[in-house]
Structure 1
Amino acid sequence: MASFSFTVLEQSAVSPPTGADLGEPLPLTFFDIMWMTSGAVRRLFFYRFPHPTVHFIDSVLPALKSSLSTTLHRFYPLAGKFRCSDEDEGKLEFRYKEGDSVPFTVVEYDGDFDDVSGDHGRAVSKIRPLVSELREDLYEDMPLLAVQVTVFPNKGFVIGVKISHIACDGRSFIHFVRSWAAVCRAESSAESLPSFDRTMFKFPEKLGTATPGDVKHFFESNKQPKKSTTSNDDAMFVLKGFKLSKGDIEKLKQRVLLSAKTVRCSSFMVTCSWAWVSLVKARAYNAERKVQLLFQADARQRLNPPVSVDYFGNCIRPCFAEAVVSDLIGENGLAFACEAIGNGIKELEVGVFNGCDEWGNRFLKTEQPMAVTSSPLFRVYDADFGWGRPVKVDVASLGDSPGVMSLTESRDEEGGIEFAMSLEENEMAAFDSFLLLALDG
């Protein structure tokens, strides 16, 4: 087996421009507090660059770092930390202090760029080292962002961005990355400015703010042992990408509508249903068992009053789809799955905070639920830093959560969808075969 090596070329830090007028500290909202025990989100953006490392260092790296500095001025909370308020130690906030910075690591890797950036099953152990560490075992003064650039000489490079989920949701994460890319290619006006206005939120009284003591308890009671990047457990899990063309999606929709004409069936719903049914079959659950699919709904335009679509922070709520295994594995399983997902969406019609007291319990009561993250609406492939669109975008943090699927738009076809999932190698083989059977059936 070939042995590849990582060489750290640079470890530095990037801050907003000196003397920049940064905004006020931001208080945590209920939507932020929901994600306190979640790990950071790690995305990988793969780019072709058939030049030597020295050319990358001279021609690409300075632009990446200077544009990041400019972008941190606009997205200033990410340059700061999650910390206690200076004015009131009983309050928590995101705040930038002079001297704060974002760790920026540059690594050279002599591995196979095409191997780690493809859709085929890749060992999670190959993906983990492409994102730098971000300390997540703190409950105060916790950094929110880290960047690692990995250079594959004469092949390409990877921008690995790691953001604490306490700071923002997926829409905000990608808004930041696309804005950074636009500044880097000298088209800063291509992306809108973020909004940090939190005065518009009207939370129910029972949804109070967390105290530092609460946060300390959350972190200490949910500590997980850190995995080695070369552990045997990692080697057993693979991350694999899948694609649905616009034609594939229409084919699946028609199948659902033929078996249940009253079921609403969007591209999101049928893609999630296709994967959910296939995973249930791959795991060979008991036919009488109840299973659950968890997905997130953007609350920005569902709140009263609505908040800006450019709001930066967390503004999502969980939705739950539940079904009996025997229904999902039967002849009309896709239709049953779509109906269950539709019922989860209908809960939003009562209000964004409907059932919020039970969100945690509903998730925890089901063993091994499947979950969906990200969205085709985020336009991840628009992250062009000036050297072309990404050849691949992955969510490296899927390796921490087997059974979680990440959705993106198709890179090559309008109306198509891509998704990725991490599973144990044997389970992935079964999942893959059931996906193909469902598409051909």
Structure 2
Amino acid sequence: MDIPVRIPRSCIDVNQCEDDFVQRPTLKRIFHFSKETIAELKAKANTEIGTDKISSLQALLSHIWRSVIRNRSFEPNEETKYRIVVGARQRCRELSENYFGNAILGTFVGMKAKELMEQGIGNPAWRLNREIAAMTGERLKKFLESGPASPEFITLRSGDALITTSPPRFDMYGTDFGWRKPVAVRSGSSSKIDGMLTLFAGAEAGSVDVTPYI
């Protein structure tokens, strides 16, 4: 693999992409999901599909996805996407334990609004589950090998997609830098993108705070 990866200027049409760099104003809201509520969503999603493989996070993301699309009044046959970022560290055997930095790869699940609304939270949660399971070490390796040869820019059209990049696994409220424990956790300016959902572990054990930008 040639390092660094150099992208020819012919691959970048600045005039065509100019509008994509102008983000419209977004609104920020904080939603708190208790441990009990998340457990209910997980049980419901697994019951609808007849499995026990759907995780709490997948059930929660499915519920949020359906809620956002319903409130945005999508046309029944309009396509909507949920983009997720999958960790590669535990999937790539070639990756050294001493590797420092992010090891991630994005993927997405697409559904028509009608399907999303009519099939409960189980079906979209199961699709998220299957797509994550398909992110094997071999698939990640192929992406790394083909990426430098055919670089691709991922864009999200405003309003038609959601994206989550932060798992609520880190104990944010347990961090103390010498100013005592935090009373609230919020995301920075880099996350203020239409459709971005930032998740943090809540102050209560097992709870999750969701910050959507819409």
Q: TM-score range, shorter-chain basis? A: 0.7 to 0.9
Distance in 1, matches of 2:155 and 2:133, equals: 18
Alignment match of 1:301 (pick from 90, 102, 109): 90
Listed as ranges, the gaps of 5+ residues in structure 2 are: none
Task: Name the structure 1 match of 2:30.
Answer: 241
Give the TM-score, by structure 1 length.
0.41
Task: Name the structure 2 match of 1:292.
Answer: 81
Give the TM-score, by structure 2 length.
0.80
Relative distance call for 1:318 and 1:286 in structure 2 (3 A) is same
| Corresponding pairs, count | 207
**What is the CA RMSD across the aligned residues, in angstroms?**
3.3
Shift in Å, 1:338? 0.5
Relative distance call for 1:376 and 1:340 in structure 2 (3 A) is same
The answer to whether residue 179 in structure 2 is matched with residue 392 in structure 1 is: no
Q: Please list, as runs of the form range in 1=range in 2, the aligned pairs for 1:274-293 lying within 5 A after superposition.
A: 274-293=63-82
The answer to whether residue 120 in structure 2 is matched with residue 333 in structure 1 is: yes
Q: Please list, as runs of the form range in 1=range in 2, the aligned pairs for 1:2-401 lying within 5 A after superposition.
A: 205=1, 209-211=4-6, 214=8, 234=25, 237-262=26-51, 264-308=53-97, 311-330=99-118, 332-349=119-136, 350-354=138-142, 360=152, 368-397=160-189, 400-401=192-193
Is this contact kept in 2: 1:398–1:404, CA < 8 A?
Answer: no
What amino acid is the match of 2:195? G
SS in 2 for 1:279: helix
Higher relative contact order (CA 8 A, sep 6+): 2
Relative distance call for 1:399 and 1:347 in structure 2 (3 A) is closer
SS in 2 for 1:258: helix
Following superposition, which runs of at least 4 residues in structure 1 exceed 3 angstroms of deviation? 213-227, 353-367
SS in 1 for 2:173: helix
Kindly, what percent of the aligned residue pairs are identical?
A: 21
SS in 1 for 2:134: helix
What amino acid is the match of 1:374? S
Relative distance call for 1:401 and 1:366 in structure 2 (3 A) is closer
Distance in 1, matches of 2:178 and 2:10, equals: 42
Distance in 1, matches of 2:78 and 2:139, equals: 29
What amino acid is the match of 1:352? L
Task: Name the structure 2 match of 1:418.
Answer: 209
SS in 1 for 2:140: coil
SS in 2 for 1:384: coil
Distance in 2, matches of 1:319 and 1:370, equals: 12
SS in 2 for 1:238: coil
Relative distance call for 1:406 and 1:218 in structure 2 (3 A) is farther
What amino acid is the match of 1:410? G
Relative distance call for 1:225 and 1:320 in structure 2 (3 A) is closer
Is this contact kept in 2: 1:297–1:316, CA < 8 A?
Answer: yes
